[in-house]
Structure 1
Amino acid sequence: MNLAVNNLSLAFASILVIVALLISYKEKLGFTKDIIVSVARAIVQLVLVGYLLNYVFQVNNVFLTLAMTGIIVVNASLNAKKRSKQLQQDFLISLVAIACSTGVTIGVLVLSGAIRFIPSQIVPISGMIASNSMIAIGLCYRSLDRLFHDQRQAVLEKLALGADVKLASLPILRESVKTGMAPTIDSAKTVGIVSLPGMMSGLIFAGVDPVHAIKYQIMVTFMLLSATSIGSVIATYLAYKSYYNERKQLII
């Protein structure tokens, strides 16, 4: 089955954007400009990426595949670092966390035979893993900022009683990791009942047997749980020391 998505159908589908614009205007939400800019950027970026991926898939070069994966990881890191106002090495921490979560997860999938190391599989999977890690790490950063501010007195009391910075920060670290992982876990609980995720829906639209599509979605669920847990733990445990100075004093 081929999807009948052509230029005319896309033009008619733009009516859905107009609906969002009308709601923004009527409710005075102030999103009119943001919606127009975001839609324009999405169209341009997706068209460019579409032609680029078409070339990458045809070339099927290992180094080009790794380069594309690297670009995805770097861009995800740049976006994740914006979620914290306190971190001094926010980009480096984000890069290490996302690179590790992406590398470990893809490595397991390739070694297990679930996917092959070809650009048509590695690049999309890398994007899914890196984007979910980016969101989880961003939530961790925000949680760290909030909890260190809200629990400042409790942390200071622990430090005064002789606890080191890790022990004094441990409840905050655990809560931040839980915050980063929570959306992925909640999504896994409702997948197939409340929602049919993008990958599964896309395969079904393309005419793939739903049972076969389910196997791919189960694999995606496993890999996203792995990626967000690895990314959240690494980012949180690398980031918390930024809330202390060299004399182990809380600076927030």
Structure 2
Amino acid sequence: MSTGNIFHGQSDSVWIAFALGMLKPLAALVIVVLAVLMSFFQKLDLEKEMIYSIFRAFVQLSIIGFVLEFIFQQNHVFYIFLAYIFMVLVAGYTAGKRAKHVPKGAYIAGASILAGTFLTMIMLVLLRVFPLTPRYAIPVTGMMVGSAMTVTGVTLKRLRDDLRLQQNQVETALALGATPRQATHKQVKRALVVALSPVLDNAKTVGLIALPGAMTGLIMGGASPLEAIQLQIVVMNFLVGASTFCSILSTYLSWPFFFTKTYQLETRVFIEE
């Protein structure tokens, strides 16, 4: 049998397996249909958004599935780097949209996510928590970048909103000789607490309310629950660490843009809601 026929046969088998595997997800669309009907009868006007969201998720996950299948077969560190950069770019853009009134918000978010998650990844690799292969590194990186994206976006938005509402307090502190960092200490602390609270609450209740995704996937895949909780503990540890690094770094990178060169509040940043 020629090499071309071998590859052609492998390609056909992949497509057949994919098509058969999609039967269950398609069957689960019944639940979405019920949700759309409920939205319609309750006049929520969310039907188009629901359908669009599910369709987009289907397309994105299908494409990513084939991409990961290719990357896992190549099993090269280079693809880990490419996937990581792509995720950071998307995460920075998304977090920047949440904090759209923060000057250079997308760049600040992207830099914070890049630095915080990279530091966490380096530590995990040096400690040999998992091998540096695409099958392990890409899913782990995705979870870290996703959590960091949410936390960073909330931090930047909340910091700007609090400074906008408390301009008089900040300006008074500046007039009394405080540095910009000292004058905004309370606002920075509040933004970090608000952004990190969901991550910490999730860590405190993990396993008591719901089984997290990584643990659930392993158990459904046939792994021992004891093996699953070991991985989940690792996941929770690096999520808390990466989220904290990224959120704190974003405040250090963003606060200079809230002030002029003469250490006064940049009022134009706080004009728009």
**TM-score, reference length from structure 1:** 0.95
SS at match of 2:223: coil
Partner in structure 2 of residue 40 of structure 1: 55
Asked if the contact 2:219/2:228 (under 8 Å) is kept, the reply is yes
Q: Aligned partners of 1:198, 1:121: CA distance in 2, in Å?
A: 15
1:88 matched to 2:103? yes
Over alpha carbons, which structure has the higher Rg?
2
Single out whichever of 226-235 and 241-250 deviates more from structure 2: 241-250
1:107-146 equivalence runs, <5 A: 107-146=122-161
Asked if the contact 2:163/2:187 (under 8 Å) is kept, the reply is yes
Identity of matched residues, %: 32
Q: Aligned partners of 1:7, 1:166: CA distance in 2, in Å?
A: 53
Partner in structure 2 of residue 179 of structure 1: 194
Q: Aligned partners of 2:100, 2:84: CA distance in 1, in Å?
A: 27
Asked if the contact 1:77/1:98 (under 8 Å) is kept, the reply is yes
Unaligned residue ranges in structure 2 (runs of 5+): 1-19
Asked if the contact 1:85/1:145 (under 8 Å) is kept, the reply is no
Q: Aligned partners of 1:6, 1:117: CA distance in 2, in Å?
A: 29
What is the one-letter code of the residue matched to 2:132? F
Shift >4 Å, 4+ stretches: none
SS at match of 1:249: coil
What is the one-letter code of the residue matched to 1:147? D
1:226 matched to 2:241? yes
Q: Aligned partners of 2:41, 2:263: CA distance in 1, in Å?
A: 52
Partner in structure 2 of residue 68 of structure 1: 83
Q: Aligned partners of 2:181, 2:264: CA distance in 1, in Å?
A: 12
- How far is the alpha carbon of 1:201 from its aligned partner? 0.5
- How far is the alpha carbon of 1:11 from its aligned partner? 2.1
Asked if the contact 1:180/1:228 (under 8 Å) is kept, the reply is no
Asked if the contact 1:102/1:130 (under 8 Å) is kept, the reply is yes
Partner in structure 2 of residue 30 of structure 1: 45
- How far is the alpha carbon of 1:121 from its aligned partner? 0.8
**Aligned residues: CA RMSD:** 1.2
Q: Aligned partners of 1:161, 1:102: CA distance in 2, in Å?
A: 38
SS at match of 1:220: helix
- How far is the alpha carbon of 1:171 from its aligned partner? 0.8
What is the one-letter code of the residue matched to 2:173? K
Partner in structure 2 of residue 236 of structure 1: 251
Q: Aligned partners of 2:51, 2:195: CA distance in 1, in Å?
A: 30
Unaligned residue ranges in structure 1 (runs of 5+): none
Q: Aligned partners of 1:236, 1:23: CA distance in 2, in Å?
A: 41
Q: Aligned partners of 1:46, 1:199: CA distance in 2, in Å?
A: 17
1:190 matched to 2:198? no
What is the one-letter code of the residue matched to 2:217? G
The correspondence for 1:21, drawn from 36, 46, 56, is: 36
Q: Aligned partners of 1:209, 1:157: CA distance in 2, in Å?
A: 59
Q: Aligned partners of 1:13, 1:133: CA distance in 2, in Å?
A: 30
Partner in structure 2 of residue 150 of structure 1: 165
Q: Aligned partners of 1:80, 1:135: CA distance in 2, in Å?
A: 7
1:2-13 equivalence runs, <5 A: 6-13=21-28
Q: Aligned partners of 1:7, 1:95: CA distance in 2, in Å?
A: 34
- CA 1:156–1:248 in structure 2 vs 1: closer, same or farther (change >3 Å)? same
